[in-house]
Homo-oligomer: A and B are copies of this chain.
Amino acid sequence: MTAPIRIGMVGGGFMGRVHRMAQRLDGEYQLVAGAFSADPDKARSSGEALHLDPDRVYTDFATMAEREAAREDGIDVVSIVTPNHLHAPIARAFIEAGIHVICEKPLAVSLEEALSLRALVKKHGVQLLLTHNYSGYPAIRRARELVRQGALGELRLVQVDYAQDWLSEAGNEGWRGDPTLAGPAGALGDIGTHAWQLADYVVGQDIETLSADLHTFVPGRQLDDAAQAMLRYRGGARGRLSVSQVSPGNNNRLQLAVYGSRGGLYFDQESPETLWFAELGEPMQRLSRNGPGSGPADQHASRVPAGHPEGYLEAFAQLYRDFACHLRGELPADVTLPDVDTGCRGLAFVEAMLASARADSAWTALAYPEE
């Protein structure tokens, strides 16, 4: 009788709830420990609500890493869902304890910090999953597959846009508005990293150089609430990336369009069951997840037939499910997960954006740190 993977969690709030649902959906994980709060009362009540053994409810991550590593039935994996500035310190503690890490994006608040985590991961031989959840969508897996198969021909244009409206007015920012907690990038760090990763995952080509413009529209806000860049890829493609958290009417509108010499793709995260695909000169096709026009990649990431909508939580759970396979050595070779290297690359992207913006949008090299 096998058993689910034992998992612990550091952090709380909305993203904590999302991660727990993602952990549960496929039955691969069992939550057995957690440091949900530094406040003992809050920590205890969270633990109770989650049916945890009170001995395994902690108020600080260091103790948790130490004690769990010491237990015979200690956690196999920790899930980190704190504000950005704590990602690296917490990850470090668990990596050093030999515990695998699932970490919210961005991996760290600086490239330097990220690189040091990467070195640590290699040294300790643990695995790290970075929850760029949108790459768990079946349609995105299918898009990546089509690009890799050459269905679009030579890539020419990559356009990724992410619009939200919840920061259209002052007051909602929480820790995301405080550079000491969120890091130096606002909308860029929060959703720009997702947009970058989505395009990176699908097109599999490196941005060579970018020209960026950041802006803060809402008075009093310390970080950018909108950012955009023009992109030039090594392979010759051009592109753009735009993000905004001040676009009224947009709940969470992440769109990706990729065009090549022979075809084009379009995806809208708010309608994730569909991938639009056109071969040049042929009618636009609506590829349904796990239905007509699907392929191995989206079928792998599906749970139910086409027409039975899967969504955000399923995509999130897919990363968890794939990571479980990965830990067991059973992940199919053509499935790639966002990992510690993705995190380093993402921070290289953020820092290139910030540098270009400071330099009046000068074209700035995006030098991905070699592994």
Residues of A within 8 A of B (CB): 1-4, 14, 17-18, 20-21, 24-27, 48-52, 54, 152, 156-157, 159, 161, 164-166, 168-169, 211, 213, 215, 217, 226, 228, 230, 232, 238, 240, 242, 244, 246-253, 257, 259-264, 266, 269-273, 276-288, 291-293, 303-314, 360-361, 363
Contact = CB atoms under 8 A, between A and B. Distances in A.
Given A25-B313, A304-B18, A361-B230, A284 B285 contact: yes
B244 A215 contact: no
Nearest to A229: B230
12 contacts: A27-B50, A152-B248, A211-B213, A247-B264, A251-B288, A253-B307, A282-B292, A283-B285, A286-B286, A303-B313, A311-B314, A313-B314
Contacts of A164: 307
Given A166-B305, A281-B292, 4 more contacts: A2-B49, A3-B51, A251-B307, A269-B309
B248 A279 contact: yes
A248 B262 contact: yes
Contacts of A168: 261, 280
| Total copies of the chain | 4
Contacts of A215: 238
Given A51-B2, A228-B230, A361-B363, A292 B284 contact: yes
A119 to B, nearest CB: 34
A26 B31 CA distance: 13
A249 B261 contact: no
A9 B308 CA distance: 22
Contact of A311 (B1, B261, B285, B311): B311
Given A24-B27, A51-B4, A211 B226 contact: no
A228 B240 contact: yes
A84 B312 CA distance: 32
B248 A263 contact: yes
A89 to B, nearest CB: 28
B226 A238 contact: yes
A214 to B, nearest CB: 9
Nearest to A242: B240
B308 A304 contact: no
3 closest residue pairs by CB, A with B? A251-B307, A252-B307, A249-B278
Contact of A270 (B157, B249, B262, B307): B307
A7 to B, nearest CB: 13
Contacts of A161: 159
With most chain B CB atoms within 10 A of its CB, the pick from A52, A54, A165 is A165
A283 B287 contact: yes
Given A165-B264, A271-B271, A284-B292, A312 B309 contact: yes
A313 B284 CA distance: 24
The winner among A20, A305, A311 for most chain B CB atoms within 10 A is A311
A159 B264 contact: no
B292 A157 contact: no
Contact of A286 (B230, B248, B284, B306): B284
A168 B164 CA distance: 32
A168 to B, nearest CB: 5
Contacts of A249: 259, 263-264, 266, 276-278, 284
A217 B260 CA distance: 10
Nearest to A48: B1
A286 B283 contact: yes
Contacts of A307: 164, 250-253, 269-270
